[in-house]
Amino acid sequence: MLEIVSNKLNPQVLPHLHIWGFEVPVYLFCGGIAAGLLVISSAMLIVKKDHEDLRTLQLATLLSPIILSIGMFFLFLDLEYKSHVWRFYTAFVPTSPMSWGSWLLLGFYPFALLQAMILYKDKLPRIALLQALVIQAERWKKHIAVLNVHIGAGIGVYTGILLATFYARPLWSHSVLGLVFLLSGMSSAAALMLWIAPSTGKRQYSMIDMYLLSLEAFAITVLIIGGITGSANTRTAMLDFLAGPYAPWFWAVTLFGGILMPLALETLETLGKVRFSPLTPLLVLVGGLSLRFVIVYAGQEAATFY
Amino acid sequence: MSRERKYAMIIDTKRCVGCSACVYACKAENNVPHGFCRDWIVSITKGTFPDLSLLNRSERCQHCEDAPCVTNCPTQASHYQGDGTVQIDRDLCTGCKACLAACPYDARYIHPQGFADKCSFCSHRIKDGLNTTACTEVCPTSCLTLVDLNSNDGKAEALMKGREVKIDKPHAGTKPKLFWLV
């Protein structure tokens, strides 16, 4: 027999880690969509010469910082020492993904907003300084878009790497998690753009989302293979994830309902077999949110590194 | 120039009776809030009756030399103090809980006031030149000893001589500084 008795009390680490509630997955989801919107809209500004569907690009660029702000509000709710939130900006710690993320988020706003102002220049208030800024910035429109692709990708990867560097938590400790969250954020963003696009412009966003969902499914497969072929720690955590209490959510809502089913629907919609339905992007968004919830919750329930 | 200290703790599991005096001394000394603890006792029973063995271990923060809580802290609130200990600057802590997620020993908790908290090796006593912690002072079997590994006093060597010395989760690569004599 082996019996271990402990009089440790600390509730946040017993019987397993449970420090992060719904706020963190919501923040990671919002951060992922905001990053995806910025990457896709900026990339389209770079590669496309004429923008038939300018309204969708305008909305995507505008929604990106708004959705990020909603996410950051949830992150703020999660902080235990809220009055010290400004302390994130008193240091830069290169080994801490959270520190990288804090500074990247700071860089996100000025350039995302500048891009939105360029796209909405006709609707801006007639303030001389603002108009002058937009006229100057417009000359650098493509350079700003290139910068925004990189900032957006950085934020998207960060939402996964944030968890992946905690090697004490075996389910999270995979570098591919950064790629999974980036692709998931981008596919959710493409789904949102598909939703808001006019019927004439839906096909291109549907095709973008199909590619992204396929890549996401591939990245999740790599994550699973990496887990079950890893050390005893990671194998146990991954098997618990695949067959434990969060398994129905993962298989049914995230993988089937949030990736495979919308992928099939988008294929049919793009081929013109069925009409574009708001159900398809809704499924992708629910799947993206579900992915963050199951990973954050199941990762905390996995046994600490042993 | 003064010598750099490197504090560690040696815990003789053959002497420990699992009385929890160290736990309550720590709570009193450091005003640890109700429902939390900075140190704790783990009792491990192995074997088949009547051939049973019991191991009592007084556990706390390992004050790792390569501490993942320090590398993951975004504000440098968790830091190396320069005397071999890992400390938390409450004024810098945001309560983001990255250190709790990073610690492979689950040694931390969030204080009800919002900052991360853990064993400090009673740094206030060390600063006062006491070179003891509340737990080492109160232990009725003297199984806990705070040692300075950079000292030439021979204290650590004398305690470890002829004994099997174990550290927890060496494969984590954190270079912990709690040494259990088994």
- Asked if B88 contacts B115 with a C-beta cutoff of 8 angstroms, the reply is yes
- Are residues B168 and B11 in contact, defined by beta-carbon separation less than 8 angstroms? no
Minimum Cα–Cα distance from B60: chain A residue: A8
Tens digit of pLDDT for each residue in B30-50? 999 999 999 999 999 999 999
- With H, G, I as helix, E, B as strand and everything else as coil, classify residue A254: helix
CA distance A173 to chain B (A): 11
* pLDDT the model gives residue A4: 87
Structural tokens at position A97: 């993904």
Chain A residues with beta carbon closer than 8 angstroms to that of B115:
80-81
The whole-number pLDDT of residue A173 equals 94
pLDDT of residue B152: 87
A239 vs B117: CA distance, rounded Å: 33
Neighbours of B114 (CB within 10 A): 17
* CB contact at 8 A, A67 and A192: no
pLDDT of residue A125: 84
Q: Identify the pLDDT of residue B106.
A: 96
Residue type, A45: L
Strands (E), A53-174: none
Closest Cα of chain B to A213: distance in Å?
30
Please name the residue that has the structure tokens 């009776």.
B17
Instruction: Tell me whether residues A10 and B109 touch, CB distance under 8 A.
Output: yes
What is the CATH architecture of B7-67+121-181?
A: 2-Layer Sandwich (3.30)
Q: Is the pLDDT of residue B102 over 80?
A: yes
Among candidates B23, B101, B169 on the partner chain, residue whose Cβ is nearest the Cβ of A166: B101
Given a cut of 70, whether residue A139 has pLDDT beyond it is yes
Joined tokens for residue B180: 């259990």
Tens of pLDDT, residues B134-182: 999 999 999 999 999 999 899 999 999 999 999 999 999 999 999 999 9
For residue A262, the model assigns a pLDDT of 97
Range A261-272 burial, b when 16+ CB lie within 10 A, else e: bbbebbeebbee
* A46 in reach of chain B (CB within 8 A): no
Q: How far apart are CA A138 and CA B60, in angstroms?
A: 58
% residues pLDDT > 90 (chain A): 84
Cβ contact, residue pair A305, B104, below 8 Å: yes
A1 reaches B (C-beta below 8 A): yes
Instruction: Give the pLDDT of residue B3.
Output: 66
Name beta bridge partners: B57. Answer: B42
SS (HEC) of chain B: CCCCCCEEEEEECCCCCCCCHHHHHHHHHCCCCCCCCCEEEEEEEEEECCEEEEEEEEEECCCCCCCHHHHHCCCCCEEECCCCCEEECCCCCCCCCHHHHHCCCCCCEECCCCCEECCCCCHHHHHCCCCCCHHHHHCCCCCEEEEECCCCCCHHHHHHCCCCEECCCHHHCCCCCEEEEC
Mean pLDDT of A128-139: 89
Q: What's the pLDDT at B1?
A: 47
Strands B78-80 and B86-88: antiparallel
Q: Which residue of B has its CA nearest to A163?
A: B101
How many inter-chain contacts (A to B, CB under 8 Å) are there?
147
- Mutating which of A19, A231, A306 best tests the B interface, going by the most B Cβ atoms within 10 A? A19
- Mean pLDDT, chain A, whole residue set: 94
Pick from B37, B72, B73: CB nearest A10: B37
Percent of chain B with pLDDT over 90: 93
Tell me what the mean pLDDT of segment B113-132 comes to: 94
Residue B181: name the closest of B162, B169, B54 by CA.
B162
pLDDT (mean) for B103-127: 96
Which pLDDT tens digit goes with each residue over A277-296?
999 999 999 999 999 999 99
Mean pLDDT over the full length of chain B: 94
Which pLDDT band, with edges at 50, 70 and 90, does A122 fall under? Answer: confident
In this prediction the pTM is: 0.93
- For residue A50, what pLDDT is reported? 66
Reported ipTM: the value is 0.91
pLDDT of residue A51: 65
Q: What is the pLDDT of residue A106?
A: 87
Residue A77 has which token pair? 């709710």
CATH class of A23-301: mainly alpha
Query: Residue B106: which residues within 8 A CB-CB, separation 6 or more?
Result: A8, A10, A13, A14, A17, A304, B100
| Nearest-angstrom CA–CA distance, A196 and A188 | 13
CA atoms within 13 A on the CB side of A182: 23
The stretch B10-31 carries a mean pLDDT of: 95
- Summarize the confidence of residues A57-82 as an average pLDDT: 96
pLDDT tens per residue, range A195-222:
999 998 899 999 999 999 999 999 999 9
Q: Per-domain residue ranges for chain A?
A: 23-301
Domain ranges of chain B: 7-67+121-181
- Kindly report, residue by residue over A235-245, the tens digit of the pLDDT: 999 999 999 99
CB atoms within 10 A of CB A136: 10
Q: Considering only A67-71, A95-99, B126-130, which range has the smallest mean pLDDT?
A: B126-130
d(CA B98, nearest CA chain A) in Å? 8
Smallest CA–CA distance, residue B154 to chain A, in Å, is 32
- In chain B, residues with a C-beta closer than 8 Å to the C-beta of A24 are none
Q: Do B40 and A6 touch (CB under 8 A)?
A: yes
CB contact under 8 A, A19 and B75: no
